[in-house]
């Protein structure tokens, strides 16, 4: 069932460091790859998204790197802050498929 | 604009009972999708409704059903509850159907506990 594999399951990063979360997908028909951020007690919220015709997209401290041939994409959070502590989900559409989530803690 | 609202926020049921969850999308959004969130499994897609019609369905048993009303509000029903149905149930709305590139806006979820 899980068509999008996400790692690591949890991540602890020092304040100011770089957080990296990886996802791999199987279905080459997927054509849109969003990342969601979820704080406790809240639903997920769209953070940043990429389409497979570009290899990188940057918005502020958040960057998606996309490797179409390897069917992998990753989220990089630069200068990680305590306020970034949340659970992050990668996703892929058609019929939206989500990764299992990564709990990020920034100390 | 008010966000996606879900009621109730918390529910406790026993095995064998049934439950109905409600979702009101953002005003003007016509598509509502439902997801089950459990630790370690992430979000599992249940189904999507658009204009009162089910457009897509995930890989869940028939005990899980839903419907959408003419005002785009949606309900999800789970019959004959099992312990494994304990989860956070999220609904998300989008303006258009398919939710491919249109941003999904999630509600806070309904936390269902089955005893």
Instruction: Dump pLDDT digits (tens) for A71-98.
Output: 999 999 999 999 999 999 999 886 678 8
Chain pair A-B, CB pairs under 8 angstroms: 55
Q: Which of A43, A89, A96 sits opposite B45 (nearest CB)?
A: A96
CB atoms within 10 A of CB A20: 16
* B36-84 confidence digits (pLDDT tens): 999 877 889 999 999 999 988 999 999 999 999 999 999 999 999 999 9
Comparing CA positions, the residue from A46, A19, A20 lying closest to residue A33 is A46
Mean of the per-residue pLDDT values of chain A: 92
Is residue B102 pLDDT above 80, yes or no? no
* pLDDT(B101) > 70: no
Q: Do A43 and B109 touch (CB under 8 A)?
A: yes
Measured in angstroms, the CA of B34 and the nearest CA of chain A are apart by 11
Q: Do B44 and A1 make contact, defined as CB atoms within 8 angstroms?
A: yes
Is A44 close to B90, i.e. CB distance below 8 A?
yes
DSSP category for residue B79 = -
Q: State whether the Cα torsion B67-A3-B92-B40 is positive or negative.
A: positive
């Amino acid at each position: 069932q899980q068509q999008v594999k996400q790692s690591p399951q949890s991540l602890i990063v020092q304040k100011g460091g770089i957080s990296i979360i990886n996802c791999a997908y199987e279905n080459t028909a997927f054509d849109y790859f969003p990342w969601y951020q979820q704080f406790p007690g809240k639903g997920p919220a769209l953070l940043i998204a990429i389409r497979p015709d570009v290899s990188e997209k940057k918005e502020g401290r958040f960057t998606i790197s996309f490797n179409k041939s390897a069917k992998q994409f990753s989220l990089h959070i630069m200068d990680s802050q305590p306020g970034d502590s949340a659970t992050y989900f990668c996703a892929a559409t058609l019929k939206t498929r989500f990764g299992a989530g990564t709990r990020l803690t920034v100390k | 604009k008010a966000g996606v609202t879900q009621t109730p926020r918390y529910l406790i049921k026993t095995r064998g009972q049934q439950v109905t969850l409600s979702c009101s999308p953002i005003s003007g959004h016509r598509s509502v999708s439902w997801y089950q969130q459990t630790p370690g499994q992430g979000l599992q897609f249940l189904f999507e409704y658009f204009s009162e019609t089910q457009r897509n369905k995930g890989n869940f048993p028939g005990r899980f059903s839903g419907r959408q009303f003419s005002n785009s509000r949606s309900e999800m029903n789970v019959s004959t509850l099992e312990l494994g149905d304990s989860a956070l149930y999220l609904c998300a709305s989008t303006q258009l159907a398919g939710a491919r590139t249109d941003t999904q806006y999630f509600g806070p979820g309904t936390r269902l506990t089955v005893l």
